[in-house]
Structure 1
Amino acid sequence: MLSTVARGMMAWIVSAFLLFGKMMVTQAGSCFQDTLKLDLVTEWQSQCFGFKDSLYTWSEAARACQRMDANLIRMTGPEVQVMMADKIAKMHSGRHEIVSFWLGARDEKKTNEWRWENNDALEWTSWTAGPHSGTCVIYDGYLAGWRKTNCESFDATVCQKGQLY
């Protein structure tokens, strides 16, 4: 026969397990179906963002997002950039590394006409000072802004689902 303390402890463990399980299902169900492929998932203003620390080329990153019914992140204002940079910095706290990640913009025709994956023109940009070369764009955590780079270089990935796509 279990003591009152033991029963109380078991009830607490079962409640915690059920609550944790519910939170995971809610998070995965409302954003990305398979959160195990992602290192960070966050929702913000009716959009869902999934961060993957693994390094990909731009094309590989775009395909990885598409497999999750998402696109590479589309930064439409400073609020999105600050939110995502803050979330990733908190995830990496204590590791002293600067993170850069692919954006869904590129100059596919090499005409300096930058477009998002869905072919919309960029309405807001955050280009950094310094050397720029390439036809793809990353968010550079060290410079806290956008940088043109070679599409075959390797960077982290942020996938986005929501009202913009």
Structure 2
Amino acid sequence: MPETEVLYSDVKFTKKKGDTTETASSSIEATYSEVKISKTQPSTELPECSTASQQAMSNGGSKVKSKKVALVILCVLLAVVVIALCYVYHDHMQTKKKYQSLEERYQTLTAKYKDLEKNFTETLNLTQKVVPRSCPKPPEIKLSDSRPKCDKDWEQYGGKCYYFSITNSSWEESRRDCQSQGGDLVKIDSRDEQTFLTKKLSDKMNDAEDKFWIGLTDSKKEGEWFWVDDSPLNTSLSFWQKREPDNWEEENPEGEDCVRMGEKGGPEDLNCWFDKSCDKPHKSICEKQAEKGFITCF
């Protein structure tokens, strides 16, 4: 049988009589009751002690549970930090490998560049030592194989070059200017040449009096017309305007001994030669042979 404890209690009874209260213990003997309590059974007489014990155990369990939760969280954070460090380290190693690869390529390209520079220098030195070849004798050029060429501002037509001046000068001054450029005042040898010049002057003249000197004059002898190369005028190839030449002396007593040409409006009428005082300022037409093509040696 399980052991029991005996609890003795002192029970006192009171007796009420009228307004006077007397203690029962003075007149009544104390009665002792024996109470047997099993250790295995909770005491019903001490509820406050039992509740307090349960509360203490509950509080202790909560604290232990809180510590376990905190420990789990700490472990999770530690695992996250370890994973992050592993990722950073892996990334660092990959970057380092790429850098090493780029550095190796740079070293390779630098070596190739130095080799190319060395080869270029050697080749340049060799070329400077080579004696240039002498220019071979150019082959003969036939007229049919050459193409006429004119200087800048000169216009080419029929194997000749023409220059139309833009300044006004006397006949003699105009001729000297043409000669300084390797030519002379124009000599008209054909109807085609007259047509070409008439059309050109029609576009260049500003007004009817804006005419151009040509290389024809009778200054040596009145009425006998000669070109600047001293060849006489072919009357079948003369293009005088109607009633020209008239040697008009009212403007200059010495008359009109030089020829100008031009008709504003077009080449419909080729007869556009006019005699005029040689001192009158006009523009002029210069003429020279076109240069033939040639071969150069490089």
Q: TM-score, normalised by structure 1?
A: 0.68
Q: 1:122 maps to which residue? A: 233
Taking every aligned residue pair, what percent have the same amino acid on both sides? 22
The alignment partner of 2:177 has SS state of helix
In structure 2, stretches of 5+ residues that fail to align are 1-147, 248-255, 291-298
Distance in 2 of aligned mates of 1:91 and 1:152: 22
Distance in 2 of aligned mates of 1:107 and 1:122: 10
- The higher radius of gyration belongs to 2
The total of aligned residue pairs comes to 126
Q: Which amino acid aligns with 2:275?
A: K
Alignment of 1:112 with 2:223, yes or no, is: yes
Match of 1:46 among 159, 166, 169: 159
Q: 1:157 maps to which residue? A: 284
Alignment of 1:55 with 2:174, yes or no, is: no
Q: 1:17 maps to which residue? A: none
Q: 1:8 maps to which residue? A: none
Superposition RMSD on alpha carbons, in Å? 2.2
The alignment partner of 1:53 has SS state of coil
Instruction: Using the TM superposition, give the Cα deviation of residue 129 of structure 1 relative to its aligned residue in structure 2, in angstroms.
Output: 1.4
Asked if the contact 1:31–1:161 (Cα under 8 Å) also holds between the matched residues in 2, the reply is no
Query: Alpha-carbon deviations, 1:108-161, whole Å to 9, x = none?
Result: 223311101110011221111136221111113258511111100111111001
The alignment partner of 1:55 has SS state of coil
Higher helix share: 2
Alignment of 1:135 with 2:257, yes or no, is: yes
Instruction: Using the TM superposition, give the Cα deviation of residue 83 of structure 1 relative to its aligned residue in structure 2, in angstroms.
Output: 0.6
Q: 1:31 maps to which residue? A: 150
The answer to which of 132-141 and 54-63 deviates more is 132-141
Give structure 1 regions of 4+ aligned residues with deviation exceeding 4 angstroms: none
Higher strand share: 1
Higher relative contact order by CA 8 Å / sep ≥ 6: 1 or 2?
A: 1
In structure 1, stretches of 5+ residues that fail to align are 1-28, 36-40
Query: Alpha-carbon deviations, 1:38-93, whole Å to 9, x = none?
Result: xxx3111100101012111000000010000101011122211221121232345x
Q: Which amino acid aligns with 2:284?
A: T
Q: Which amino acid aligns with 2:276?
A: T
The alignment partner of 2:199 has SS state of helix
Q: 1:13 maps to which residue? A: none
